[in-house]
């Protein structure tokens, strides 16, 4: 019997470190805070944690701007805390995935400081992407080297004091590395080993498709920034990097893995990253991008499974992350019926957990947290806010610290009397983990029950699924002994055959109410 590697059907919980739990009272979450909550995560029933970057960073982009890849930012703790965390995570029977950010560093990284101090054409500059500008319309005026936009708004180039421009696909504080320079490659291979030696079980690779840019640096000329045949992402050279990384991961025991954050515009392109000698998984954002619609859910799930099928890799599913509007709020639109997003989020969880492959949860979704839409302007920290001249609010609304206990800010996130780095809503008393833990009708209780059910059935579920006939507003599918029914409409529909095991709102006899999900033990008649 071959054992299934742990990540193939794992439920991974994304910890946004800055907002998870603050042990030292500086208003920001930290590694010790995570350690103190491992019992909560084990009891929730997840298999692994993914930590967003906790490395030394000025936090121009919440830590995705790394100044030292081999150390912990003092705000988040120390390397010793990290080692203690790894040991405790494992002692709780959980795995640990850390984020690695290879596309760009912080502008405070010693290499970039060195590059700025060195002349154009120097080896120090060749670790990043420096280019001369282009003549502008008027004499003496200069334009950036090409028309590439930053993902956060504005141009992807910033001019330095000596006139050269450097590339940053994200904020100007995040200069892109030049992956054609062998020094960059070997540096990252050493960084991988550094964290593997400390016991991590895997990596989430940030901007995994972005490392190589088309050597011509041609203009986009109206093409989509992310297009696979465009000049910015998914250049073929990137695959060689992941082949080398895979060999490193394979040198270590214990099923170490890597999952790439790969945004592509086609399934064929996605599959390339999953060749047997490359990455183990890629994020598939299809469910996250779909609206509340049975047809859309069925279509995107079919396409997502089809995309990975030829590779033998398992699909991955996500409803929320630190980069997107929380799905409780997303599912409220466009109807705006009070409570509808919450009901739909509960129902969607059952689909997420019933699909084959692994599920990535985002901290706070188990508490049913909504997006915080009314953060004061002066509190906003996401670079998107300023880079779009305050046109787009950015991602702070899904990064508000977690409410653990109590009836007012900081709700047990920080020690009493401390102001968390983002203000927390006044009406979160009933949403705290403490309040929900003792309420059997809470979202937290529901998540625990659903995760326990998935775990109980995991060994009996085949890798594929069979779509069952359903009314137009519903999705029904079966995986061996498990049937999932999701009714995205407003009116009740008849349940498929089977014995209900868990439902997101009470059933009416054999009717599944609108905006409800149900898992059933498949009866023989459903075959």
Q: Which is nearer to ligand BGC, 213 or 448 (CB)?
A: 213
Active site annotation includes 206: yes
The kind and range of the H/E element at 516 are strand 516-521
- Distance, in Å, from the CA atom of 168 to the CA atom of 383, rounded to the nearest integer, reads 13
Do 317 and 355 form a contact (C-beta atoms < 8 A)? yes
Nearest to 94 by CA among 20, 17, 29, 7: 7
Nearest approach in angstroms of CB 169 to ligand BGC is 8
What residues make contact with ligand BGC under the rule CB under 6 A?
A: 61, 64, 101, 170, 206-207, 261, 322-323
Nearest approach in angstroms of CB 161 to ligand BGC is 25
Nearest approach in angstroms of CB 323 to ligand BGC is 5
Do 413 and 404 form a contact (C-beta atoms < 8 A)? yes
Q: Which is nearer to ligand BGC, 64 or 273 (CB)?
A: 64
Nearest approach in angstroms of CB 284 to ligand BGC is 14
Sign of the torsion formed by the C-alpha atoms of 23, 89, 326 and 434: negative
Nearest approach in angstroms of CB 61 to ligand BGC is 5
- Distance, in Å, from the CA atom of 80 to the CA atom of 78, rounded to the nearest integer, reads 5
Alpha helices of 222-379 — where are they, by DSSP H?
238-251, 267-272, 286-289, 294-308, 327-330, 340-354
Report the DSSP beta bridge partners of residue 519.
Answer: 484, 502
- Distance, in Å, from the CA atom of 307 to the CA atom of 160, rounded to the nearest integer, reads 43
Q: Which is nearer to ligand BGC, 36 or 324 (CB)?
A: 324
The SS3 of residue 425 is: coil
Do 434 and 404 form a contact (C-beta atoms < 8 A)? yes
10 Å CB burial of residue 413 (0-12, 13-18, 19+) is buried
* Distances, alpha carbon 21 to alpha carbons 40, 46, 57, 173, 433, in Å: 12, 18, 19, 27, 12
Residue tagged active-site, from 183, 229, 240, 251: 251
Nearest approach in angstroms of CB 282 to ligand BGC is 13
Nearest approach in angstroms of CB 288 to ligand BGC is 12
Structure tokens at 174: 């995040």
Residue tagged active-site, from 61, 206, 382, 396: 206
Nearest approach in angstroms of CB 283 to ligand BGC is 9
Alpha helices of 92-225 — where are they, by DSSP H?
110-117, 182-197
Structure tokens at 165: 């421009």
Nearest to 35 by CA among 105, 99, 98, 82: 82
Residue with the CB atom nearest ligand BGC in the bound state = 64
Do 112 and 126 form a contact (C-beta atoms < 8 A)? no
The SS3 of residue 308 is: helix
Do 55 and 71 form a contact (C-beta atoms < 8 A)? yes
Q: Which residues are the active-site residues?
A: 206, 251
């Amino acid at each position: 019997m071959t054992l299934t590697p742990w990540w193939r059907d794992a439920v991974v919980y994304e910890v946004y470190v800055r907002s998870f739990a603050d042990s030292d009272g500086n208003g920001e979450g930290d590694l010790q805070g995570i350690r103190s909550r491992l019992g909560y995560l084990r009891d929730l029933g997840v298999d692994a944690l993914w930590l967003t970057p906790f490395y030394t960073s000025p936090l121009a982009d919440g830590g995705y701007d790394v100044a030292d890849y081999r150390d912990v930012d003092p705000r988040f703790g120390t390397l010793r805390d990290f080692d203690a965390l790894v040991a405790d995570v494992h002692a709780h029977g959980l795995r640990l995935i850390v984020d690695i950010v290879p596309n760009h560093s912080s502008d405070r990284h010693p290499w970039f400081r060195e590059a700025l101090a060195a002349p154009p054409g120097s080896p120090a500059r060749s670790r990043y992407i420096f280019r001369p500008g282009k003549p502008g319309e008027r004499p003496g005026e200069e334009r950036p080297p090409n028309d590439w936009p930053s993902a956060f708004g504005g141009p992807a180039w910033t001019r330095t004091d000596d006139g050269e421009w450097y590339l940053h696909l994200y904020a100007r504080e995040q200069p892109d590395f030049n992956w054609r320079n062998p020094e960059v490659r070997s540096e990252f291979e050493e960084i991988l080993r550094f964290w593997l030696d400390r016991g991590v079980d895997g990596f989430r690779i940030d901007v995994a498709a972005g490392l190589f840019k088309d050597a011509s640096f041609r203009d986009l000329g109206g093409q989509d920034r992310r297009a696979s045949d465009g000049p910015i992402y998914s250049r073929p050279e990137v695959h060689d990097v992941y082949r080398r990384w895979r060999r490193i991961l394979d040198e270590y025991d214990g099923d170490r893995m890597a999952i790439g954050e790969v945004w592509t515009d086609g399934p064929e392109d996605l599959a390339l990253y999953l060749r047997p000698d490359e990455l183990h998984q890629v994020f598939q954002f299809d469910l996250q991008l779909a609206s509340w619609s049975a047809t859309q859910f069925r279509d995107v799930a079919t396409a997502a499974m089809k995309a990975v099928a030829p590779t033998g890799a398992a699909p991955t599913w996500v409803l929320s992350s630190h980069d997107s509007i929380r799905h409780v709020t997303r599912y409220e639109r466009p109807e705006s019926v009070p409570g509808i997003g919450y009901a739909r989020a509960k129902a969607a969880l059952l689909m997420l957990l019933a699909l084959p492959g692994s599920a990535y949860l985002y901290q706070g979704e188990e508490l049913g947290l909504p997006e915080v839409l009314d953060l004061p302007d002066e509190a906003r920290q996401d670079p998107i806010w300023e880079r779009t001249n305050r046109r787009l609010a950015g991602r702070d609304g899904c990064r508000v610290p977690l409410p653990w206990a109590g009836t007012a800010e900081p709700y047990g996130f920080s020690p009493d009397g401390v102001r968390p780095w983002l203000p927390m809503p006044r009406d979160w008393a009933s949403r705290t983990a403490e309040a929900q833990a003792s309420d059997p009708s809470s979202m937290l209780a529901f998540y625990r029950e659903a995760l326990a059910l998935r775990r109980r059935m995991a060994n009996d579920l085949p890798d594929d699924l069979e779509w069952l006939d359903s009314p137009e507003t519903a999705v029904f599918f079966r995986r061996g002994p498990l049937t999932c029914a999701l009714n995205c409409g407003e009116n009740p529909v008849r349940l498929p055959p089977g014995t209900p095991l868990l439902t997101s709102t009470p059933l009416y006899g054999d009717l599944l109410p609108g905006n409800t999900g149900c898992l059933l033990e498949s009866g023989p008649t459903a075959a």
